[in-house]
Every structure is written in C-alpha cells, then in structure tokens.
Structure 1
Amino acid sequence: MSKKHRKEHHEEHADETWLIPYADLLTLLLALFIVLYAMSSTDSKKFQDMSKAFNIAFSSGVGVLEQSAVISNANQFEDTTESKRHKENADMSKQENIEALKKKEQEDLEKLKKQVDNYIKSNGLTTQLDTKLNQSQLTITISDSSLFAPGSAKVKPESRKLAVEISSMLQKYPDYQVEVSGHTDNVPINNAEFESNWDLSSMRALRFLDILLLNKNLDPHLFSTIGYGEYHPVAKNSTVEGRSKNRRVEVSIMRKYTDTTNTTVVSASAAADKK
C-alpha cells in the first residue's frame, strides 16, 4: 500500500516582538502608580529624592526598579555638592577676612608712621630720624650720632626721651612683632669693650631695647634684637656721609600679612641701590 504523503500544515506564529515594549510600558505604569501612592503619604524630602531618582533614571538609562540605588547615588551627589559649596563659602569667607585684616594692618602702620613723622618734624629731628613703610615692615631709622657717643653702646641721657616716646607709640599697636637692629660702618673697631663691629652693633640694639621695654605695657615676647655689623649698609662706605648713614639703629614693626612677591622686588631694588 502506497504511503500517502500528507503535507503537514505548519501554523504561522504572529510576530510577538511588540510584547517587549508593552511589558516595559506596564512596568513604567506600575512604577508610576507606586509613586503616586507614595506621594500621598510621604514627606517633601522623600518626594524630592524620588524625583531625582526618576530624572537620573530616564536620563542615564538606569532601570526604574533600581531607583533605591539611584536615590542613594543622588543623595551622595547632593552631599558632595553641598560639602563642596560649604568649603567654597568657607574659603571665600576666610579670604575676605584676611583682606579685611590686611586693610586694618595697613591703616595701623600708616597711622603709626604719621605719628612718628609728626614727632620728628615737631622736634626738628629730620636729619636724625627717618621712617619707611614697605611691603614687609614699618622701619624707624635712628642715626647713631643721636643715640651714642663714638665707639659706645650707652644711650645718651638726652636721647632716652626718644626711646620712651617711640615705646609710647608702639603700645597703641600691641600685636606686632618688633625687631631692633644695630648697624655700623666698615671701619674696624677693637677696644677694651668691643672686639668687632658685630659686638658694637648687637650691644647698641640691646641697650636701645632696654629703654623701650621699660614701658610695661609692651609685651617682651614680641621684641627681639639683632646686630648686623657693617654688612647691611644703606650707603657707600667710601664717603664720610655714607658711613654716617650706615651707623644706625632701626626699629622695625613687622607686618603679619606680607606680599612675598613685592617684598622680593623691593629687596632686589634696594640691593641694587647699594652697589
């Protein structure tokens, strides 16, 4: 018996690719209903978190059902941003505070300089005293001839009033470091009291400081002395006038807020003038 070849009918299946977007749509609708329900019983903070989660999810491709992780990331981002904002505000506030202190310092030193200048002018001391305000300090320069006898470190009795007057001015500005420095010319000294210009300059600075600190309103912790000998001249030692300028005592009121760039420039130009 011959076999009948029956043609089997294969049923064609309909295209089911539409199920994928349909399932996604249902998932989104379910998430939307959950959010709407949550909004009815949540506080504003949770709502903001949820809003951030959806914004990030829809813009970055993260699944909505992973929103807990997204919320956590959003909170971390917000905390980081807030921390950065606080740091920037703190830095700005600190800088503004420093600028205010710099301004106050400048006003203090200008006022002190004016007081010393008025004292110099009213007492006819223009040839013996000088003041200079730069980026690092206010310097009061006193000629050695107005303070000491030649080769001596003992302050003349008539010059003690000058030291007392300067100390009275300094007590109005009690928070500044003060350095008293002694300087000589390059003529060697070798006597029973001093072996070198180092010794002479150091002792002159110390003896002048002794008188300043008789004022008990001054804090000794803020004062220091140094002797430079002949090695910080302001004029040439080849002339009598130059050597006279180099023999001096300087009272330097140091800035607390300095511009190091400008200070370097001033020092360089000053060094050039000495050559």
Structure 2
Amino acid sequence: MSRKKKHHHEEHIDETWLIPYADLLTLLLALFIVLFAASSVDAQKFQQIAKSMSSAMSGGTGIMDFPSPLPEEQPQSANVEDAKNEQNENPDFEQQEKIELEELQKRINTKIEAKNLNTKLKTVLTDEGLLITVLDDVLFDPGKAIVRIKDQTLAMEISELLVSDPPRNIVISGHTDNVPISNPQFDSNWHLSVMRAVNFMKIVLENEKLDVRKLSAKGFGEFQPIDTNDTPEGRGKNRRVEVLVLPNELKDQQ
C-alpha cells in the first residue's frame, strides 16, 4: 500500500509555484515597458513592440490591453495641411512681399523709360514673381551667346536693380525661336539658349552685392514661345532672356 501511495504522489507534482512565478514575470514585463517608454524612443516603435508582446501573451487582461501612454503619430497628410495653413495664416507677410515686388518693378520701369528701352525690356508681375523680359537683340548678335560689349553696361545696371535685403532667389532663362540653328558652335537652339542665360548671369554676378547662391540659369530653346513663330516680329519676341525675381518665403525669414 505504501508503495502505491508514493507512486501516486510522484505523478501529481504540486504546481502552485507557477502562479507567483507568472506574476513575477508580469511585473518584470511591466517594469520593462515603463522603462522603455521613459527612454523617449520613437512612439511608433514602442507601439509595435507593445502589440507584439501583447499578442504573445494570451489569456486574461494584462498591461498590454490598456491604451498606449504615448500619442499616436499624425498622418503625413495632416503635417502637409498644417504647413499650408501656416502659410495662409500670414497674409500680412505675403502682402508685404507683393508690395516690395511692385516697388522693384517701378524702379526697373523708371530705368527702362530713361534708357528709351520700352520696346526692348518688359516687366510684369506674375503668380511666380516679377518677370523681366530682355529681347535677345538687346544683348546678343544673331546666333551668338556672348553679351555684346556695348550692352554689358545695361546688364550690370539690371544687376543693381536685383539687389535686395534679404537677397531673393533669381532665375535667368534663355529662349529662342523655332528656326533651326546652323552654327558649328551650337548643336541646337536649346544649347544656344542655355549659353545665353549662363553668359548673361556671369555678368550679373560681377555685382558683389548679389548672393551667388541665389541665382540659377536655365535654357528652354524654342519650347516656351510667347508669340507666333510664323512672322519675323513673333520670332523676335520669342528670342529673349527672362529674369524671374521670386518672392521671399516665410521660412527664409525664420
């Protein structure tokens, strides 16, 4: 009889020790989560780890079943919308920029009148900024990309009008008509338009008051005409250099 009792006792080992052991593991896990959250880690990573641990621990309600103490990350679209709202919330700044560009336009128009260049230089305020158009025969000989010596003074005078504080971004672009170029120096109208923009910009940048980091040059060839290419007059208007003075942005002032 005694042997049977002993054998029966060995088959049913007392497992009550597992309960405090499981509680201890839960407390350690909770401590780990608190320490992990307090270490200022990325909220998204924290939630991912929390979900993984929660799914691994099945049965009952534990610490992972409570809402995360960290705020959920806002969608990117919300951040983009906030940026747009910030710009819209500064109408005074935008209005001031418009006024300053209008003043710059007046100064340039005064210079145009004084030089009798009304048929050669044009200014217009666009949605992008102040656009100054210089017809190519004011600066270049036909098929050439070097600014004529007699017109370099005019280019420098234009550069003086572009000085501002803070400095503004300025884009200089070259344009041609659609007549194919037959010149060993240039293999396309696009090539000619780029070099005209670059050479004009070189003279402008001789003005040390301008920030070289704010200027850039582009060439569009015949692909952005402002008039017909079917008449000599229209082609003359399409051959031009444009100087676009961009408005300052609010972030540049902060």
TM range (shorter): 0.5 to 0.7
Q: 2:193 aligns with which of 194, 201, 211?
A: 201
**Percent same amino acid at aligned positions?**
43
Moved more, 97-106 or 116-125: 97-106
Give yes or no for contact 1:108–1:173 (8 Å, CA) kept in 2. Answer: no
- Which residue identity does 1:115 align to in structure 2? R
Could you state the TM-score of these two structures normalised by the residue count of structure 1?
0.58
- Contact kept, 8 Å, 2:155 with 2:203, in 1: the verdict is yes
Q: Tell me which of 94, 116, 133 is aligned to 1:102.
A: 94
**Unmatched runs of 5 consecutive residues or more in structure 2:** 1-82
Provide the rounded CA distance (Å) in 2 between the counterparts of 1:177 and 1:191: 33
Look up the match of 2:217.
225
Amino acid at match of 1:107: I
Provide the secondary structure at the position in 2 that maps to 1:217. Answer: coil
Does 2:183 match 1:188? Answer: no
Matched, 1:249 2:241: yes
Partner of 2:116: 124
Q: Counterpart in 2 of 1:154? A: 146
Change over 3 Å in CA distance of 1:174–1:149 after alignment to 2 = farther
Task: Give the letter aligned to residue 111 of structure 2.
Answer: Y
- Which residue number in structure 2 is paired with residue 134 of structure 1? 126
Whichever of the two has the greater Rg, that structure is 1
For each residue in 1:213-249, what CA deviation from the matched residue of structure 2 results, as whole angstroms up to 9, or x when unmatched?
A: 0011111111100000000000000001000000000
Q: CA RMSD in A?
A: 2.2
Query: Alpha-carbon deviation of 1:209?
Result: 0.1
State whether structure 2 residue 155 is matched by structure 1 residue 163: yes
What TM-score do the two structures reach when normalised by structure 2?
Answer: 0.62
Name the aligned partner's letter for residue 227 of structure 2.
A
> Cα distance, 1:176 vs. partner?
1.4
1:85-144 deviation line (CA, Å, top 9, x unaligned): xxxxxx9x9568622211211111001000010000111000100001022111000010
2: CA distance between counterparts of 1:95 and 1:147?
A: 39
Contact 1:133–1:139 (CA under 8 A) maintained in structure 2: yes
| Whole-Å separation in 1 of the counterparts to 2:160 and 2:237 | 26
State the match for 2:26 in structure 1: none
**Whole-Å Cα distance in 2 between the matches of residues 187 and 95 of structure 1?**
44
Q: Distance in 1 between matches of 2:167 and 2:230?
A: 40
1:167 is paired with a residue whose SS is helix
**Partner residue of 1:212?**
204
Q: Which stretch of structure 1 is more off in the superposition, 211-220 or 248-257? A: 248-257
Q: 1:95 to 1:143 in 2, by over 3 A?
A: closer
In the alignment, the residues of structure 2 paired with residue 95 and residue 193 of structure 1 have an alpha-carbon distance, to the nearest angstrom, of: 47
- 2:228 aligned with 1:236: yes
Structure 1: where are the runs of 5+ without partners?
A: 1-90, 259-275
**3-state DSSP of counterpart to 1:130:** strand
Contact 2:167 2:210 in 1 (8 A): no
Q: Distance in 2 between matches of 1:104 and 1:215?
A: 26
The residue correspondences of 1:38-57 to structure 2 (distance < 5 A) are: none
More helix by share: 1
